[in-house]
Chains A and B, each alone.
Chain A
Amino acid sequence: MTVNLQVSRVSKEFVDRRAKSTVRALDEINLEVQKGEVICILGPSGCGKSTLLNIIAGFLPPSGGEVRVDGRPVIEPGPDRGFVFQEFALFPWRTVLENIEFGPVLKGMEKTDRHTHARELIQRIHLTGFEDKYPFELSGGMKQRVGIARALANDPEVLLMDEPFGALDAQTRRVMQEELLKLLGETQKTVLFVTHAIDEAIVLADRVLIMTARPGQVKSLLGVDLPRPRERTSPEFNELYRTMDDLIRVEVEKASEVQDSDSAVPGEGA
């Protein structure tokens, strides 16, 4: 097995110039991900999950540490790291086909190759017949399928997904999870998947990373050694669920304390 993604001692501080304060979002995160591995990231709100993904994507520079993909340090966004956004972020002026072709066009892929490639992806996400629809004509689930296909069209090394199913209803979510597993089974992508849903993490992940309250650190990294497809009703599933739930609950409580102390104004109170 080869290490595909390496996060070494990554820290992030946000400086608020006006308030003259800094927020420590991440504190020395270390993580090594093997090729083809699916890592789900869980943690309380505000612990820095999105920040971590944004740094890996190259959207944000880290305050310390570095990220390497296939040994190359990350300095800016690039097509080797596909990103799937919670809010879909499809280009509204491009059709389904044109959205998926965005990366290949930039790569200079020839038109016929590009079309074949995109149509194949469209078929795999079950949107045949919707090639020429605009995003506003699609449901949330369809939009995110396009979001995933658009990222996969570049054949990236790593797929970064920030709560990709967070805006979808529970039914659609389940379907999308299954379809994602199928897609990933076919492509063997390395995936970092942020979620708030523990069951989603257990269904999808090879390993689950649980983060501490802010500043985010690696609290624990748990392997999910359940056979696939995973049964949500199995005792092993539920045991793992409880274990993770306990770990996260502690951090969520800590996070709410942090927030209370943040908002407390000195000198005020009874």
Chain B
Amino acid sequence: MNRRMATRAVSIGGLVILWFVVTHYKLVNPLFLPPPREVWEGAVDLIQAGELREHIAASLWRMFMGFVVGSFTGVVIGILMGQFRFFHAAVGPLVEIIRPIPGLAWIPVALIWFGIEDASKVFIISMGVFLAVVTNTFVGVRSLDPVLVRAARSLGANRRDVFFRVVLPGTLPHIFTGFRLGVQVSFALLVAAELVGSTSGLGFLIQDARNYFRGDLVILGMAVIGALGFSITRLVEIAERWFLRWHSTSREGAFY
């Protein structure tokens, strides 16, 4: 564990040092890649003005809402599709038609329908998260071993018990797979949507800085997105490991 941390520190530190060296000896045009100090100062300015916090808050809020809406509908519809043939027959084709449309293709229509405020981003993200979660949930319900349902029934479970005590926990590993995919998708979609039409958020920060030739702030925005993405992925992984501690592969699957 400690060794892993050390390795990480070395690799990230190494990148920063490389950055420093490359810019210090003017190996690249500073317009293309500003030196670390400049980015640092830009960050301090932005933090003192309270702007960075606002952009981060705007982005996180959209992601959070999109994630909640998308994963909730994904889990519910995925379970219904898995449990009821009729529902699968009715809704399955709709999902399959929506799936091949890239998330980015929803951006224009979302802007038309919902404007450039939060709602359009929430819509786009929830769409992406929904698709990731609904399929995995469906597969999870379908791949549940029916013998477990029999076991529960013979122990006195009624249909409700079977649902909450067997189907739901049994599908959880697949649901989490959907969540993990959903987080990745939602980052991509959020930033893209903010780049195209927005007045706040990290994507907007990058775009706005580019317009004013503020290379330092472009780099800063990207670094913040990277750090946030990393942290949120970690959080989901931690949650997954806790919820799936009974799942042998959730441990075997982690590389150390």
Contacts and interface: CB of A to CB of B under 8 A. Distances in A.
Contacts, number: 73
B156 A107 contact: yes
B155 A79 contact: yes
B149 to A, nearest CB: 9
B156 A79 contact: yes
Given A78-B156, A91-B166, A93-B172, A85 B248 contact: no
B153 A77 contact: yes
A92 interface: yes
Contacts of B172: 93
Given A93-B246, A134-B246, A81 B154 contact: yes
Given A89-B145, A93-B170, A93-B172, A79 B246 contact: no
A103 B155 contact: yes
A85 B151 CA distance: 8
A76 B149 CA distance: 13
Nearest to A137: B248
B152 interface: yes
A80 to B, nearest CB: 9
Nearest to B166: A91
Nearest to A80: B156
Nearest to B247: A92
A128 B123 CA distance: 53
Contacts of A103: 155-156
A57 B154 contact: yes
B154 A91 contact: no
B150 interface: yes
A83 interface: yes
A106 B150 contact: no
- Listed from nearest, the 5 A-B pairs whose CB atoms lie closest are A79-B156, A136-B248, A77-B153, A83-B154, A103-B155
